[in-house]
Amino acid sequence: MRLLSLMVPLCALASCGSLPTNQDPVVPHVDFVVQAGKPVDSKSSEPHLRNLRQLTFEGENAEAYWSNDGTKLVFQRKSGGMTADQIYVLDLSTGKTELVSSGKGRTTCAYYTQGDERIVYASTHHSGDAPPVVKVTGRGYQWVVHREYDIFDVTPDGKGMRQLTKTPGYDAEATVCPVTGDIVFTSVRDGDLELYTMNPDGSNVKRITDRPGYDGGAFFSHDGSKFVFRSAFPKNAEVAKTNAALLGQQIVKPSHMEITVCDRDGGNFKRITTNGAANFGPFWLPDDKRIIFSSNMIGVENFAKTGDHTGLREFELFVINEDGTGIERITNSPEFDGFPMFSPCGRFLVFASNRNNATKGDTNLFVAEWAN
């Protein structure tokens, strides 16, 4: 296997068609060397991951996304007695970590804007200093879509905050087009969790998906022409009714999510996975033809065969072709691997994992060189 080496920036290689570019793209540092963190042993069962490094060492760290120049990560963290996630930037040259968000309320889903000039993320701080709390009952994995979340952006040092959304209800899960700078996000503004786009300043909001069930966690392809995201497909009217009732309580139960893609305007909606598992965190490989994502499909398959539910909380990374063929397992670690993202030059993969924990339940960030 050889290390993927791209000597030309992906944004320059991309066929952008007629999409307008808001500004000159930042050129990724193709020769950049990660100095942050420390090396950990690679596994022979994970041949695509070379020179693995652990970047964080305590607490809950997740959703780490690259700066466009490929030298920093923005991520969310909860540790050291914190009551909710806040947004941080990690300098991969020095290992220095700095708080970007206000330190108030709850935050989630941060992403660098085009040009690395600002960072966009969702926060509840404008509704009160204390993090909002929703009581979750029942069995199985559930997450809360707090109605107080709105989308903001700040400069990388946390200054100059602007509020981009002001519609009542959940607005979050924002990511940015590397070509146009437009933002795709998830919102409940029309009664269900759907995808929308907006200009970098929050104007010109357009609805992208319009179907029963959750659509969210979207990422643009490198050429800006399409999205990959996760979607729920209610089995019947009764399940749809139950899901709607949970959403009214600000709760989503993502036990069955599939990976889906569509064009930038919402056309050509396609379901990529059909395994009935919890599939999430998809991201395009540098060729925009394959998708990396996290799934508990192995545990789901084992549960169907044996009734053993212990594997349902074990998530691994997989790669799949855009047509749903050629699935390949990437990680082989107990418990959780998720939130994968390739660096802008395509050389590195960052992800979150429960591996190598000092404390049970910790989730930390790891980066590896990608080997084809």
Token pair in block for residue 253: 């139960």
> What is the per-residue pLDDT across 259-307, written as a single tens digit (0 to 9) for each?
999 999 999 999 999 999 999 999 999 999 999 999 999 989 988 899 8
For residues 71 and 86, is the Cβ–Cβ distance under 8 A? no
**Distance between CA atoms of residues 211 and 274, nearest Å:** 17
DSSP letters of 97-125?
EEE-S-SSS-EEEEEEPGGGS-EEEEE-G
CA distance to 171, 239, 245, 361, per residue, from 249 (Å): 16, 16, 7, 27
Secondary structure (3-state) at 112: strand
pTM of the model: 0.91
Cβ-proximal residues to 242 (8 Å cutoff; 6+ apart), any chain: none
E strand or H helix at 299: helix 297-306
Largest CA distance in the chain: 55
User: What letter does residue 151 receive in the DSSP assignment?
Assistant: E
For residues 272 and 325, is the Cβ–Cβ distance under 8 A? no
Cβ-proximal residues to 98 (8 Å cutoff; 6+ apart), any chain: 88, 89, 91, 157, 158
Weakest mean pLDDT among 21-25, 121-125, 205-209, 262-266: 21-25
Nearest Cα to Cα of residue 101 among 84, 80, 114: 84
**Distance between CA atoms of residues 329 and 311, nearest Å:** 16
For residues 216 and 149, is the Cβ–Cβ distance under 8 A? no
> What is the per-residue pLDDT across 6-65, written as a single tens digit (0 to 9) for each?
222 333 333 334 455 555 666 677 678 899 999 999 899 999 999 999 999 999 999 999
**Distance between CA atoms of residues 320 and 285, nearest Å:** 10
pLDDT at 10: 32
Nearest Cα to Cα of residue 115 among 29, 184, 26: 26
Name the class of domain 10-370. mainly beta
For residue 200, pLDDT over 50 is answered with: yes
Token pair in block for residue 226: 């399409």
Pairing of strands 206-207, 194-198: antiparallel
pLDDT at 14: 35
For residue 138, pLDDT over 60 is answered with: yes
| Selected residue with higher pLDDT from 84 and 18 | 84
**Distance between CA atoms of residues 247 and 241, nearest Å:** 10
> What is the per-residue pLDDT across 325-367, written as a single tens digit (0 to 9) for each?
999 999 999 889 999 999 999 999 999 999 999 898 899 999 9
